[in-house]
Amino acid sequence: MIVVLAGGVGAARFLQGLIQVVPQERLTVIVNTGDDRDFYGLHVSPDIDIVMYTLSGIVDETHGWGIRNDTYNTMQQLTSYGNEDWFMLGDRDLATHIHRTKLLRQGKTLSEITDELRKQFGLTLRILPMSDQNVRTHIQTPAGLLHFQEYMVKRRCVDPVLDVVFAGASEASTAPGVLDAIKEAEAILIAPSNPIVSIGSILAIPGIHDALHEASGMVVAISPIVGGAPIKGPADKLMLGLKMDVSPVGVARYYRDFLDVMVIDQQDKHLIGAIEDLGIPAVATNTIMRDSAAKKALAQKVLEVAGLG
């Protein structure tokens, strides 16, 4: 079994490549839920939904989130009542949040609900939220502590980042199956996701860091930073705020306690030496997942690096 630590869009695209070369039944994806937030009393779990919508082929490809050709009638009606519209929830997407929230209120756990949903989407890989408890990623800024969605979507990442806080993480436990999956994995792949808010939140749950450190399978990370900037999202602003080097070297240093190999883009191949100086072997390849063939080629390369090629 191969484990993938995942955030949203970058991870979903990487997984699209992986399922072309590995049967879904061989994959367990551990997904960040630090971005989750309640809107209108509904539990929205963006990264879980991005992974499910993308792999089932219904995602809105232009955004990377939401459902293709969705309508926004509910949102329009809500704004007519004076509600804010900075977080756009499509009508069909809302059905997912209503259903999830209904089941949570009936006492089901987020992992149980996610497993039901992924079956309904026809997916046969295992999707595990990092935790069944609420962990919320907050960004400390001069304007105060902001929920990640408020920092990123509402305020468009304009606030200087002073710190990143995973509220509730130290009291949370990993969802059932998470630690065993890491222990038993043939390889653990860290998707090209935001190292701070997507992967950092997973690492903040007690037990994960140690499990990765002790894992017998190889731990391979793909850098989301290419040519000094993230492919998508605010990873550079968060890394700078935490005084990290915005480069694959900074990412490798962040993962160095448990990382076996770092995969970087070919345009960063001059950084191989600096990563290897950290004691981590590095491999350069094309990591830009422009089309289906590029996603498949990256997945194949990563498996080969992990000794499973």
The whole-angstrom separation of Cα 58 and Cα 293 is 19
Site string for ligand FO1, 114-153 (x = CB under 6 A): -----------------------------------x---x
Q: Which of 35, 132, 260, 265 binds ligand FO1 (CB under 6 A)?
A: 35
State which residue has the least CB distance to ligand FO1.
8
**CB closer to ligand FO1 out of 66 and 195:** 66
Interface residue with ligand FO1, options 46, 192, 200, 248 (CB under 6 A): 46
Q: How far is the CB of 89 from ligand FO1 (least distance, A)?
A: 5
Nearest distance from C-beta of residue 49 to ligand FO1, angstroms: 4
By the rule CB under 6 A, 195 interacts with ligand FO1: no
User: Pick from 2, 3, 6, 7: which binds ligand FO1 (CB under 6 A)?
Assistant: 7
Asked if 88 is part of the footprint of ligand FO1 (rule: CB under 6 A), the reply reads: yes
Q: Is 65 in the site for ligand FO1 (CB under 6 A)?
A: yes
- Interacting residue with ligand FO1 among 13, 29, 47, 59 (CB under 6 A): 47
Answer for which of 87, 206, 242, 286 binds ligand FO1 (CB under 6 A) is 87
Contacting positions for ligand FO1 (CB under 6 A)? 7-8, 35, 44, 46-47, 49, 65-66, 87-89, 93, 149, 153
